Amino acid sequence: MNQNDHTGARGDAQLHQLLLWMVAANCATATISALVGMIFSQTRLLILAVIVIIASLGHLLAIWLNRRSKIATAVYLSCGTIASSVVLITLVIPETLPTLVLTPVLIVAVALPYLDRAMLRIMSVGTIVLATTITALGIYVQLLEPITGAFLDLLNVFFVAIATAIILLLFWQNNTRLKTALQQSEQANRELRTLQASLETQVAERTRELRQALVELEERANEQARMREALEQQREVILGLSVPVLPVTDTILVMPLVGALDQRRLEDVQQRALKAIEQSNAQVLLIDITGVPVVDTQVAKGLISVVQAARLLGARAVLVGIRPEVAQALVEAGIDLRSIQTFASLQGALGGMLNHSRACTSVKYL
C-alpha cells in the first residue's frame, strides 16, 4: 500500500495511535527500569531507562511529523528509533536477546502499510542486517556484568509482553485497514455497477434515438427521391410546353419558339428536336423563331447547331420567322446562313414545304 493513500490534513490516524502506544510502552518501561535499578542498584536498568526515554523522544518527534502530514518521514524516524534502541539495549543487556529478536519483525510490521515495493525491499534487507547485528552483539559482546536471576526473567517477560501487545495492535490496525479497503472496494463496485446500468440505459436510449433518426433520414431520402422524380417529370412537361414540337403532316414538324433563348434552353431545343425527328421519322423540321425577341450571335450559333444535328439524322431543318432586324443583326455579326433555308413566316414555310412535297409525289408517280 502506498504511503500517499494515508495522507490527510492531520496525518495518518492509525500511525498516530501506534506511536502513542509506543510512547506509553516506553514510558512504562523507563519508569519500571528506573525504579528497579535504583532500588536494587542495577546500573544496567538505569541505562535502559535512559535509552527508552531517548526512544520516546524520537517517537514524539515522529508524532509531530505525522500531524504535519509528513507520514513517510515519521515512519522512517520511528523505525530508525526502534532499531537504534534495540542495538543499544543489546549492548547493555545482551541477556535479553531472545526477546529482542522480535524487534526486526516489529519494525517491518510498523512500516509495511506505508511502503511501496522498492522501499519494502530495502526495509527487508535492513531488517536482515539488524537481526544479524543484534544476534552477533548479544552473543559475542559483553560490556557490563551480566544480569542473572529473577531480574532477567522479569525483564524478558516484560519485553515479550510489550512486543506482543504492539504486534497485536498492528494486526488489529491492519485488519481494520483491510476491512476499510474492502468496504471501499465494495462501494466502488456498487457505484460501478450503477454506472454501468446507467450507461447501458443511455446506450439503449441513444441506440433507439439513432435508429429513429435513421428511419427519419431514410423517409426523408425517399421523399426527396420522390420529389426529384416529380420535379423531373414536371421539367419534362415544362420542357414540352416551352419547346413544343407539333406534327403538321407525316413528314413535317413545326417547333415554335417563344421567349428568350439562353444556352440551357438552346440545349433543350436541340434535344427535343432530335428526339422528335427520331420518333416520327420526319423529313422537315420548321423552327419558328417569330416569338424570339432577340437573336444574337450565341442564339444564331445554337440554331445552326440544331440544323446541322437534324441534317445528320436525315431531316431538313428550316428557320422560320427571320425578321428584317434579325437578318440585319446576323449579317452584322458575320454569320452566314446561306447553307440554311429560311422563311419570313410560318405560313410561307408551310406552303413551300407542302408544294415541294406535292411536286416530289408527282415526280414519283410519273
Query: Among the listed ranges 21-30, 94-103, 147-156, 164-173, which one has the minimum average pLDDT value?
Result: 147-156
CA distance linking residue 108 with residue 87, whole number of Å: 16
More confident residue, 148 or 13: 13
Residue 319's DSSP bridge partners are 287, 342
Q: pLDDT band at residue 54, thresholds of 50, 70 and 90? A: very high
User: Counting Cβ atoms within 10 Å, is residue 25 exposed (0-12), middle (13-18) or buried (19+)?
Assistant: buried
Query: What is the set of domains in the chain, with CATH numbers?
Result: 3-193 (no CATH), 246-365 (3.30.750.24)
Is residue 360 very low, low, confident or very high in pLDDT (cuts 50, 70, 90)? low
Which carries the bigger pLDDT value, residue 364 or residue 265? 265
Listed range (22-26, 152-156, 196-200, 284-288) with the worst mean pLDDT: 152-156
Mean pLDDT of the region 106-120: 80
Average pLDDT, the chain: 81
What integer pLDDT is reported at residue 151 of this predicted model?
Answer: 59
Cα–Cα distance, 100 to 156 (Å, whole number):
9
Q: pLDDT of 214-262, one tens digit each?
A: 999 988 888 888 888 878 777 666 655 567 888 888 888 888 888 888 8
Q: Does residue 5 carry a pLDDT above 50?
A: no
Angle between helices 150-242 and 263-280 (to 10 degrees): 60
**Closest among 101, 91, 96 to 130, alpha carbons compared:** 101
Q: What is the pLDDT of residues 27-37, one digit of tens each?
A: 988 888 888 87
pLDDT of residue 121: 82
Average pLDDT over residues 66-78: 89
pLDDT band at 149 (very low <50, low <70, confident <90, very high): low
Bigger pLDDT: 144 vs 267: 267
Q: Who wins on pLDDT, 52 or 241?
A: 52
| 86 compared with 349, residue with greater pLDDT | 86
Residue 341 has pLDDT above 60, yes or no: yes
- Residues 320, 355: Cα–Cα separation, whole Å: 16
For the entire predicted model, the pTM comes to: 0.49
- On the question of pLDDT at 359 being above 60, the answer is no
Quick one: pLDDT at residue 277?
86
Nearest to 122 by CA among 108, 132, 101: 108
DSSP secondary structure of 283-296: SEEEEEEEE-S---
pLDDT at 240: 52
